[in-house]
Amino acid sequence: MKKINPFILERNFLILIAGVFINGLGNGIYSVAGMLLVLKLSGSVLYSGFAFFAITSAGALSFLIAPLANYAKYKNSLVYSNLIKAVILLTIPLLHYTIGLHVWYVISLLFIIALFTQYTYPIESTILPVIVGKDNVIDANSYLQTIREAMDIAFIAGAGIIITIIGTVPAISITAGCLLLVSLSYAFFNFKQPAISGEKSQSVRSAVHIYYIDLRAGFHYIRNSLVPKMIFSIIFVNIAMIIMTTNLPAFSLIKGNGTEAIYGFYLASMSLGIMTGTMITPKIKHFDFGKLIIFSYVGTGILWLGTAILPLAASMVLFGMGAISIGVLNILVFSSIQKQVETTFIGRVITLITSAASLGMPAGALIGGVLGETFAPEIPVMICGVSMIIFSIFWLCSSVLRQLPAIDNVKLFNRTQETH
């Protein structure tokens, strides 16, 4: 019988797991209810585009927000941030049952909540080594990530059913209650708090300046490598997907004849597909990387065209199957970077990729909203499917990308390339 790692039973780690679990429940309900509420208040897919634009814009600003966490005690940041988010969300049912809700108010709150999430999420990763010790970080991360992925699938699917039964506004009240419980749980942390920087006046300006210096150095490091082509690939795929997911609430209501639970099922299907992709990647990594991406994304394109055209059950199955390639691409690209990029540049290169990908998503959300308002919601889903096929053709037409060997043998950098 395998012995349980001691850190799993450590008080602070159990508190963190409890917070992650409760947050998973609340976020599952919130991710479905928030978008459905915007669609219900506005009656327009265009406003779904505005909502996704607000949420993804907060993600694009993460490089400015996350460093601020270094200027407050981590425990206090987690407790008060979750408490503030809960209070903000409670204003939705308060206004709904009194003077009424306006769609722009809800979109504004989605943006503010997303900003707070950008602030708190890195803190949970930062405190993990403090709680479990550096020797246990990999095991602890794997443990938490498995819990997060499993809960995403279960809670998002369950959220659709809950919302169908009680409605969107009461469901958001449940999310607020979950955040209050998370805030209360984190108040019991007793790990050693880090020292706080006394140079608060330099906080934002210094962080932004350092960020841009690192970003420029990272760009110089990768400019003659294959990484820019991979960045373009991720940006293209992300924009195509956000065009589709902006229309997913309306698309789900059409497929499900107005049943709100279907939206949660589609989101859960995508999460299951991406998780499957991450799980099978070690089994297929020996295939030529170029050919693997070309064939898998042609398959994704065809599957998502079927998602748009076929009836509900088949549509949902094909939707999840199409998402498998997303998980595969993510793991292979980031694994190759972690293996071949010098340790001092890994953070900069990954920041460059994630920042570039995030900056494209708000534009994709607006394009998706306009397309969904102009055409039926099935059309943007079909456009995403066609985009995946175009993405495959781009790789096929590039001799460098088409001929890439197995990921372990891919050389991102020329041996003669200088590093600075």
Chain segment 242-257, per-residue pLDDT in tens: 999 999 999 999 999 9
* Mean pLDDT value across residues 135-158: 73
Q: Could you give the 3-state DSSP secondary structure of residue 288?
A: strand
**Cα(121)–Cα(124) distance, rounded to whole angstroms?**
6
pLDDT above 80 (res 401): yes
pLDDT at 385: 95
Nearest to 273 by CA among 321, 226, 316, 237: 321
Average pLDDT, the chain: 83
Nearest to 240 by CA among 376, 352, 392, 114: 392
Do residues 414 and 340 make contact, with C-beta atoms less than 8 angstroms apart? no
- DSSP-H helix ranges across 256-342: 261-284, 289-309, 312-322, 324-340
339-380 pLDDT, tens digit per residue, is: 677 766 665 676 667 667 777 788 889 999 999 989 999 999
For the ranges 111-115, 211-215, 266-270, 306-310, which has the lowest average pLDDT?
211-215
**Cα(289)–Cα(95) distance, rounded to whole angstroms?**
53
**Cα(99)–Cα(80) distance, rounded to whole angstroms?**
28
Terminal Cα distance for the chain, rounded: 49
- In the numeric block, the tokens 């690192």 are attached to 214
pLDDT at 348: 65
Residue 81 burial (CB < 10 Å; 0-12/13-18/19+)?
buried
85-122 pLDDT, tens digit per residue, is: 999 999 999 999 999 999 999 999 999 998 888 788 76
Do residues 223 and 409 make contact, with C-beta atoms less than 8 angstroms apart? no
Does pTM top 0.75 for this prediction? yes
**Cα(396)–Cα(292) distance, rounded to whole angstroms?**
11
Helix, strand, coil share (%) of the chain residues, nearest 5: 85, 0, 15
What contacts 303, CB < 8 A, 6 or more positions away?
A: 318, 319, 321, 322, 385
**Cα(322)–Cα(285) distance, rounded to whole angstroms?**
18
pLDDT above 80 (res 335): no
pLDDT above 90 (res 136): no
Do residues 173 and 90 make contact, with C-beta atoms less than 8 angstroms apart? yes
Across 153-157, 203-207, 254-258, the highest mean pLDDT is recorded for 254-258
- Report all structural domains of the chain as residue ranges with CATH numbers, in order of start: 1-188 (1.20.1250.20), 221-420 (1.20.1250.20)
Residue 5 DSSP label: P
34: its two tokens:
């928030």
pLDDT above 60 (res 415): no
Other Cβ atoms less than 10 A from the Cβ of 76: the count is 14
142: its two tokens:
């794997």
286-331 pLDDT, tens digit per residue, is: 888 889 989 999 999 999 999 999 999 999 999 999 999 988 887 7
pLDDT above 90 (res 181): yes
* pLDDT grade for 1, boundaries at 50, 70 and 90: very low
Nearest to 356 by CA among 247, 215, 222, 240: 215
Q: Which amino acid is located at 110 in the chain?
A: L
pLDDT at 297: 93
Q: Could you give the 3-state DSSP secondary structure of residue 161?
A: helix
